[in-house]
Amino acid sequence: MAHPTTTGTTTTGTAPAPAHHAHHALIGVGQIRHTRLRPAKHAFAYAGWFLLLPMRSLSLAQRAALPFKERDHGVGGPDALAWVEHLLAQEGVADADGEIWLQTFPHLFGYAFKPVSFWFAHRQDGSLAAIVAEVNNTFGERHCYVLHPPDQRNLRWGQTLSADKVFAVSPFCRTAGQYRFRFLRTPSHMVARIDLMDEDGALLQTSLSGALEPLTRRSLRARFWRQPGFALGVTLRIHWQALRLWLKRVPLHLARSSSTSPPLPPTLPPHRSP
Q: How does pLDDT run across 62-81, given as a tens digit for each residue?
A: 999 999 999 999 989 999 99
**Does the pLDDT value for residue 12 go beyond 60?**
no
3-state secondary structure of 78: coil
Cβ-count burial 136-155 (b if 16+ within 10 Å, e if not)? bbeeebbbbbbbbbeeeebb
Q: What percent of the chain has pLDDT over 90?
A: 78
**Does the pLDDT value for residue 22 go beyond 70?**
no
Largest CA-CA distance found in the chain, in angstroms, rounded: 55
| Mean pLDDT of the chain, nearest integer | 87
Give first-to-last CA distance, the chain, whole Å. Answer: 37
Q: How many CA atoms lie within 13 A of 73 on its CB side?
A: 26
What H or E segment, with its residue span, contains residue 222? helix 217-226
Q: What is the pLDDT of residue 23?
A: 81
Separation between Cα atoms, residue 95 and residue 104, nearest integer Å: 23
Q: Residue 128 — very low, low, confident or very high, per pLDDT cuts 50/70/90?
A: very high
What H or E segment, with its residue span, contains residue 220? helix 217-226
From the list 124, 171, 131, 169, the residue with the least C-alpha distance to 149 is: 131
pTM: 0.87
φ/ψ of residue 109, rounded to 5: 55, 40
